[in-house]
Amino acid sequence: MEPGDAKAESDFQLRRIGPPGSCPNVLDVMRIKIGVTSFGRGDGCNFYLDSKNLKNFISRKHAEIHTVKNEDGELDFVLHHKGLNGTFVNDIKAPPTQLLAEGDKITFGHKNGYNLKPGQYASQPNSEFQYVVC
């Protein structure tokens, strides 16, 4: 970012609400950047997600959150889900893109996610990849 541009990070973050992570490098709080914030087990992601218990459960580039200004000049957060096991918003499998709101629960992956269709409800109360947008 150039001087005078919008700040590099927004005031929003994802905060873990589920059980603790099984990998030490997976953060409990991840600040959402202005532009694109990426999540996954690949080297190029902004935030590393992985599990000692469920290997290859999270894709190398599992999801992105794109931060864009809407017509009112406010920031919108748009989830772009890319992972094989899905990304869930409020326990519903997300379509390829979905607008997020403060308070939404995001769960990265589901044990049966590849068999579920966007819009299907699938709760995972014991997932280590549950976060809330705050």
Write down the domain spans for the chain.
Answer: 9-133
pLDDT over threshold 90, residue 90: yes
Q: Does domain 9-133 have CATH number 3.10.20.30?
A: no
Cβ(100)–Cβ(67) below 8 Å: no
Instruction: Name 55's Cβ contacts closer than 8 Å, sequence gap at least 6.
Output: none
User: 8 falls in which pLDDT band (50, 70, 90)?
Assistant: low
- Mean of all residue pLDDT scores within the chain: 91
Give mean pLDDT, residues 34-56: 94
Residue 70: Cβ-neighbour burial (10 angstroms; 0-12, 13-18, 19+)? exposed
Q: Quick one: DSSP state of residue 121?
A: B
Cβ(30)–Cβ(47) below 8 Å: yes
Instruction: Name 119's Cβ contacts closer than 8 Å, sequence gap at least 6.
Output: 92, 93, 95
pTM over 0.85: yes
Cβ(102)–Cβ(76) below 8 Å: no
